[in-house]
Amino acid sequence: MIVLDTNALMMPVECGVRLFDELERLLTDADDYLVPEAVRAELDTLADGAGNEATAAAVGLDLLERCTLAVTEADYADDAVLELATREDVTHAVTNDNPLKHRLLDAGIPVISLRGRNKLAITQP
């Protein structure tokens, strides 16, 4: 199972990343995606704005159709991603947020993030 952060779901618009294709390229068993409700709420808020960020968030909301939403104790999206990532059935987290990436790596969670222009790579803890 792979946990996705807000910016991961916005990558297709913001970075030109074919998110699920890239995840399947990196992980042959990448077919089960988990997203905290706090991330969905953050996407909702961002989608209400204007410009490229709002478009990226709207696309992110559409991508949620391929994901399982999960309730967490944490209300803040980054904390919710970390909470879900530490569950034993989670193998990786996807984020470009450097502070969150470091928190995940410190917790022993491999992180998938943008490398280069539009490719993803795994960083091991």
Give the three-state DSSP class for 35: strand
Render pLDDT for 44-92 as a digit per residue (tens, 0 to 9): 999 998 899 999 999 999 999 999 999 999 999 999 999 999 988 899 9
Give me the number of domains the chain comprises.
1
Contacts 24+ apart (CB under 8 A), 106-109: 107/82, 109/85
pLDDT at 35 over 90: yes
Q: Which domain holds residue 39?
A: 2-123
Render pLDDT for 96-118 as a digit per residue (tens, 0 to 9): 999 999 999 999 999 999 998 88
Q: What is the pLDDT of residue 116?
A: 84
Q: What is the pLDDT of residue 24?
A: 93
Helical residues (DSSP H) of 1-125, grouped into ranges: 6-14, 19-26, 37-47, 51-63, 77-85, 98-106
Whole-structure pTM value: 0.94
pLDDT, mean of residues 21-42: 92
CA–CA separation, 86 vs 84, rounded Å? 5
The enclosing domain of 89 has a CATH number of: 3.40.50.1010
pLDDT at 31 over 80: no
CA–CA separation, 31 vs 28, rounded Å? 8
Cβ–Cβ under 8 Å, residues 74 and 36:
yes
